[in-house]
């Protein structure tokens, strides 16, 4: 029997979402499926607003549309095209560039770029899952960024650190975090976000990991053995990320968002057809983001001097 792909086909997508109204109705059903609560005063009683899918709080009079206070907030083009962007970003195994979205949907490239960034905002790890089994931590280089520092254009290495969970002979989840340098201060963020204190951790021999040993006592540094590279799986994953960034996105200025997108898809590769609906769900439950919010992204750790780089990912 011929295997049928579980991926939501374009035909199925078009059947379910033929126009703007079907998209708005979907957001309406999902947003309030567990009941209504006023965004402003938190009361639960409502009546219908002037527009068909709006709800109006009976206590304070606040009118809320299905797109309000979500990542679809104030979307300035057809909601159907917005759904198409979510569909194309979530179902393409290798993602899709904003120039390609612009060609496919007849929207300006900047418009597609901004909305795609909003989709990517929903793909960030919620840090709910803590790895307690064997895990590999590896820093990697992901190209060069040109930045202005003290009025001068300087080259900065794009650095990230990966946490790759091992599950027997298989692959568990992988998380990536953009870092400014490879100091213990920066490296420690991914440890504290994703690892259990007692997790058996394998790292490279990079000195920046040293100060974290006290907090994560089961950490072991693996050095190259007879020319063989340690942390092979993490190395491969790092190479995959690097090639994807280069191939699809050229220069990824807001690196963390691209790392989030890559691992969101990789960690859910068995989800297939549900991935589109999963992303829509996350977008409904995510606070709105403006252009300014997106471009002013600041990493959690403070910037300090760049230290030496050890292992290269490619
Ligand atoms: Zn209210």
Mean pLDDT computed over 71-77: 95
Give residue 309's pLDDT.
Answer: 34
Residue 138 has pLDDT above 70, yes or no: yes
Residues 86 and 174 in one domain: no
Question: Higher pLDDT residue, 294 or 19?
Answer: 19
Residue 44 has pLDDT above 80, yes or no: yes
Q: 59 C-alpha vs ligand 1 centroid, how far in Å?
A: 5
Residues 177 and 211 in one domain: yes
Residues 110 and 200 in one domain: no
Q: In what helix (H) or strand (E) does residue 21 lie, and over which residues does it extend?
A: helix 20-31
Residues 115 and 52 in one domain: yes
**0.75 exceeded by pTM:** yes
Residue 5 inside a domain? The answer is no
> Residues with Cβ < 8 Å from 8, sequence gap 6 or more?
87, 91, 272, 273, 274, 275, 276, 277
DSSP alpha helices (H): ranges in 195-298? Answer: 232-244, 255-267, 274-284, 291-295
> Residues with Cβ < 8 Å from 210, sequence gap 6 or more?
184
Q: 40 C-alpha vs ligand 1 centroid, how far in Å?
A: 5
Residues 139 and 118 in one domain: no
Mean pLDDT computed over 42-68: 96
Q: Are 181 and 307 in contact (CB under 8 A)?
A: yes
Residues 114 and 175 in one domain: no
Residues 75 and 164 in one domain: no
Residues 19 and 110 in one domain: yes
- State the average pLDDT for the chain: 87
Give residue 311's pLDDT.
Answer: 37
Query: Number of structural domains, the chain?
Result: 2
Q: In what helix (H) or strand (E) does residue 59 lie, and over which residues does it extend?
A: none
- pLDDT, one tens digit per residue, over 213-243 is 999 999 998 877 766 777 888 999 999 999 9
Residues 69 and 154 in one domain: no
Q: 261 C-alpha vs ligand 1 centroid, how far in Å?
A: 35
Residue 61: which domain range? Answer: 10-124+284-293
Mean pLDDT computed over 176-199: 94
Q: 60 C-alpha vs ligand 1 centroid, how far in Å?
A: 4
Residue 212: which CATH number? Answer: 3.30.420
Residue 92: band (very low, low, confident or very high) from pLDDT cuts 50, 70, 90? confident
Residues 59 and 14 in one domain: yes
How many Å apart are CA 194 and CA 131, to the nearest integer? 6
Residue 305 inside a domain? The answer is no
């Amino acid at each position: 029997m011929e295997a049928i792909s579980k991926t939501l086909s374009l035909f199925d997508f078009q059947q379910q979402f033929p126009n703007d109204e079907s998209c708005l109705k979907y957001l309406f059903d999902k947003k309030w499926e567990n009941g209504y609560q006023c965004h402003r005063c938190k009361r639960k009683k409502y009546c219908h607003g002037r527009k068909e899918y709006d709800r109006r709080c009976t206590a304070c009079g606040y009118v809320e549309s299905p797109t309000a206070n979500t990542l679809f907030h104030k979307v300035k083009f057809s909601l159907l095209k917005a759904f198409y962007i979510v569909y194309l970003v979530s179902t393409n195994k290798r993602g899709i560039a904003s120039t390609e979205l612009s060609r496919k949907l007849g929207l300006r490239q900047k418009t597609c770029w901004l909305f795609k960034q909003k989709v990517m905002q929903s793909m960030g790890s919620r840090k709910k899952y803590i790895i307690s089994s064997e895990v590999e931590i590896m820093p990697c280089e992901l190209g060069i960024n040109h930045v202005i520092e003290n009025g001068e254009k300087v080259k900065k290495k794009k650095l990230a650190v990966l946490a790759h969970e091992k599950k027997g002979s298989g692959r568990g989840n992988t998380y990536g975090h953009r870092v400014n340098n490879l100091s213990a201060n920066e490296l420690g963020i991914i440890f504290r976000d994703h690892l259990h204190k007692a997790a058996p951790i394998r790292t490279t021999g990079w000195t920046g990991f040293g100060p974290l040993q006290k907090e994560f006592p089961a950490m072991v540094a693996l050095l190259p053995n007879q020319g063989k590279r340690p942390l092979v799986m993490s190395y491969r994953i790092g190479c995959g990320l690097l090639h994807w960034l280069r191939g699809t996105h050229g220069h990824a200025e807001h690196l963390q968002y691209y790392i989030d997108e890559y691992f969101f898809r990789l960690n859910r590769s068995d989800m297939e057809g549900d991935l589109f609906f999963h992303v829509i769900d996350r977008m409904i439950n995510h606070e709105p983001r403006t252009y300014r919010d997106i471009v002013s992204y600041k990493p959690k750790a403070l910037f300090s001097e760049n230290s030496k780089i050890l292992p290269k990912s490619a």
